[in-house]
Structure 1
Amino acid sequence: MNDDARTNIGTPAPASAGPGPAELREQVERTRDELGQTVEALAVKADIKAQAKERTAAAKNQAAQKAALLTEQIREKAGQAARAVQDKTPDPLLEKAGQAATAARANRTTLLVVGAAVAAFVLVRRSRGQRR
């Protein structure tokens, strides 16, 4: 064994042999950042309540979109049906229906009173019929 080998035992290695303190600090910081991101990702996955809220919001949004689409389709079909009925209905009948609608609008109060009286009469008759 030579003298150089004995004197180098226990002494730190030269800078070229391994990472220096600055490089080690950078590695530690990178590792901390990665660990922090991993912990955040795990916390998000473990938050079942937040996931349920997100799914609920997504389901509500999807239901609202479907409802809007169905409403539009229904309106379209109703318009088509109304046009078909109007095309097949004879003109004299359409005129009479228009006159009846105009008369009903003009006498709205009278019609409401008569309707309420008829409803009351029917209810009274039913209640008397159930007692017997």
Structure 2
Amino acid sequence: MTQPPHDEPTAAGPDELREQVEQTRHQLGDTVEALADRTDVKARAQEKAVAAREQASAKATELTEQVRAKASETAHLVREKLPDPVKAKAAAAAEQAKAKAGQARRRWQDQAPEPVRDNGAPLIAAGAALALAWLLLRRKKK
């Protein structure tokens, strides 16, 4: 039906012709598979979604690190510029909060559920930090 290309030699015998046919079948199969992959819209969309998700996750991690670094730097600057009377008042408030927290912990220790009792120290620390932040913000507004 069709003539072989002029740049390719024709087969010398039936075995060589069979080998050429088999090789052509493999090449055709690879080509069809590549075309099928290109037309599989759902798979390509999923691949792009995975790539976008990974890129977003990497960017979020990068931005989180930047925010943490900036927050640390800002906290350090605030501590440096904070007047000594404010520092002393904050320290006194922290001590007072710590004492009140100890009293409160002893009061509710028998009444609180077990998971709360087991995590009492972090809850108290968070409360003290909030009290200190409130005092500092209140002082700053005046």
Matches within 5 A, 1:51-130: 51-108=44-101
Seq. identity, %: 52
- TM-score, normalising length from structure 1? 0.65
Residue 73 of structure 1 aligns to which amino acid in structure 2?
Q
Classify 1:53/1:105 alpha carbon distance in 2 versus 1 (closer, same or farther; 3 Å). farther
Offset of residue 70 of structure 1 = 0.6
Q: Mapping of 1:8-23 within 5 angstroms? A: 19-23=12-16
CA RMSD in angstroms comes to 2.0
Q: How far did 1:109 drift?
A: 8.8
Query: 1-side partners of 2:85 and 2:99: how far apart?
Result: 21
Deviation of residue 90 (structure 1)? 1.3
Q: TM-score, normalised to structure 2's length? A: 0.61
- In structure 1, give the amino acid aligned to 2:54: N
Q: Where does structure 1 lack aligned partners over 5 or more consecutive residues?
A: 1-16, 112-132
Distance apart, 1:108 and its partner CA:
4.0
SS in 1 for 2:12: coil
Q: Partner amino acid for 2:91?
A: G
Q: Give the unaligned 5+ runs of structure 2.
A: 1-9, 105-142
Q: Which has the higher contact order (CA 8 A, sep 6+)?
A: 2
Superposed structure 1 runs of 4+ greater than 6 Å apart: none
Aligned mates of 2:36, 2:11 — CA distance in 1: 36
The structure with more radius of gyration: 1
